[in-house]
A and B are shown apart, each in its own frame.
Chain A
Amino acid sequence: MSDKVTVQDVERVAELAHLELAPEETTGMLRDLNAILDYVAELNQIDTSGVAPLAQVSELQTGVSATALREDVLEPSLDRGVVMRAAPETNGAFFKVPKVIEK
């Protein structure tokens, strides 16, 4: 848990997260991530064998169902034109993006 993060790790994670970092940003992030990961390594002091992970807390509340699913019925939604107005580029019906495949 206390492996040092390398520049390559930061670059790989940035790529996974679709973040393009400038070289000086990468250096700063490397320093900060290592400091934070050193700190969170404290969790290794706790024996968690046999402890079930807790992803969300609804199950801790008595009488509350964690799976409150509603009926799957068709209901009116936001107007397409209104939604499209918030987009950087559309043709009115679809979102427009730069080309996906290079020639």
Chain B
Amino acid sequence: MPGTPEEILVEKPQPLAVLRAEIAQGRLRAEDLAAGYYDRIERKNPLLNVYLSLTKERALEQAARIDALAEKGDPLPPLAGIPVGIKDVLVMQGAPSTAGSKILQGYQPPYDATAVKKLQSAGAVLLGKLNCDEFAMGSSNENSAYGPVRNPVDPERVPGGSSGGSAAAVAANLAVATLGTDTGGSVRQPASFCGVVGVLPTYGRVSRYGLIAFASSLDRIGPLAGNVRDAATMLAVIAGHDPCDATSSPAPVPDFAAESDKPAAGLRIGIPDEYFAEGLDDEVRVSIEKGIDALRAAGCEVRRVSLPHTKYAVPTYYLIATAEASANLARFDGVRYGYRSRHSDTLSDMYSKSRDEGFGAEVKRRILLGTYALSAGYYDAYYLKAQQVRRILAEEFLRAFAEVDAIVTPTAPTAAFKIGEKSGDPLSMYLADIYTVTASLAGICGVTVPCGTTKVGLPVGMQVLAAHLNEGTAFRVARAVEAADF
């Protein structure tokens, strides 16, 4: 069992329950643990570029509060003293929120996002804000206005995106767990590239209040952690209905960690052929097939399912997401917060110059595409059509979940690619999301769990999908894969 921060600050995060017990029993001080993490961040961050800002004062105050509780022998909250990092698209009082964009440079939000507030109330020590693609638009973290994040497994490679900082922070043990956001795969794909666990909660499971919006019908906040049980513990803390988000679900929140402890034996697992077709890297395929064998060995019943419209998910996703983004990003106008161009004499000029100087290329590309898809004469052909296909895709999943409890697929078609490899070609970058966007459109939940590595040691992730509000099932299956020996 770990005792001192030096023993705890190894390459991989210690399980959350172990750290919490050490703190509760007075063998580890939360303040020392936080200070140890800040030391580690100071050493590793110059290379990895994971943190955009640190919130030491707030973190150490919280740690001191936890230590005082522990000293008195008072009961501790579920995340007491656990060092956690927050993706920079979530607002947090006392820290800048840039969303990875120049247009929000220097913005200091006056409130906490609901998910952030819940972590704070649960005793988590919030270390700082994590780098990401600008407004969560990207699959490699190369679209951040503050420079790319490097993958801790191989710093020449991308960590995935858009929650690249959130995944790399866990992989490099610069936080025990983090929050990311997932609109089309932005938690799952980077978790897969960095070899950590990432959760896509059911749409509405976690309040979006305080999340800087990209595509409101798709955006979700999800935890990343070093193991499935910790991710489940994190989700139970941040989930639940919130009067500040009308789309948040009133469904009761189960004890997800306890759910994840249940054996996977007897669960029916669906394998969709469409996710193993052309474009899937051979080494990824082999790893996932071993993972499926492990599920069989764990007593799951594996059968084939068909999701024939899968290939239409990426175009559907990019029309809907960009249309919603073009509306959501209209709020960045240089009036109420963020960047204002100095080179304008009139209001109209100020809007367009502020936006031109403040937004990066990918954000402009998506605003233009979305505006085009919504504009007079094209609305029916693009936006409406995409919404109709969205229903077809969602219903296809619902039919499949009448036959199976979970569906497993690769999380991404390849392992992490090199920095610069795809950044000149937006379309090839969009295809990095090919296995994740359908679940986003359908609103169902899922978990990505490490499932072996390629020959050169790059992590491969298995995506476990389950029906709406069935996160517990996804966690059980992911635990079985995690327990397998590859």
Contacts and interface: CB of A to CB of B under 8 A. Distances in A.
A90 B385 CA distance: 44
A100 B347 contact: yes
Given A54-B394, A57-B203, A61-B204, 7 more contacts: A20-B352, A33-B372, A45-B312, A51-B388, A56-B247, A79-B110, A86-B337
Contacts, number: 190
A60 interface: yes
B373 to A, nearest CB: 9
B468 A60 contact: yes
Main SS of the interface on chain B?
helix
A67 B347 CA distance: 37
Contacts of A28: 361
Interface string A44-60: 11101001111111101
Interface residues of B, number: 76
Interface residues of A, number: 62
B250 interface: yes
Interface of B: 107-111, 202-204, 217, 241, 243, 246-251, 309, 311-312, 315-316, 318-319, 326, 330, 333-340, 344-353, 355-356, 359, 361, 364-365, 367-369, 371-372, 375, 381-382, 384-392, 394, 398, 426-427, 430, 442-443, 468-469
25 contacts: A1-B382, A9-B372, A19-B367, A20-B356, A33-B365, A33-B372, A36-B318, A40-B382, A40-B386, A42-B315, A43-B312, A53-B387, A54-B387, A61-B202, A61-B468, A68-B241, A68-B248, A85-B110, A86-B110, A88-B334, A97-B347, A98-B344, A98-B346, A99-B345, A100-B347
Majority DSSP secondary structure for residues of A touching B: loop
B316 A60 contact: no
Interface in A1-50: 1, 5, 9-10, 13-14, 16-22, 25, 28-29, 32-33, 35-37, 39-40, 42-46, 48
Nearest to B342: A88
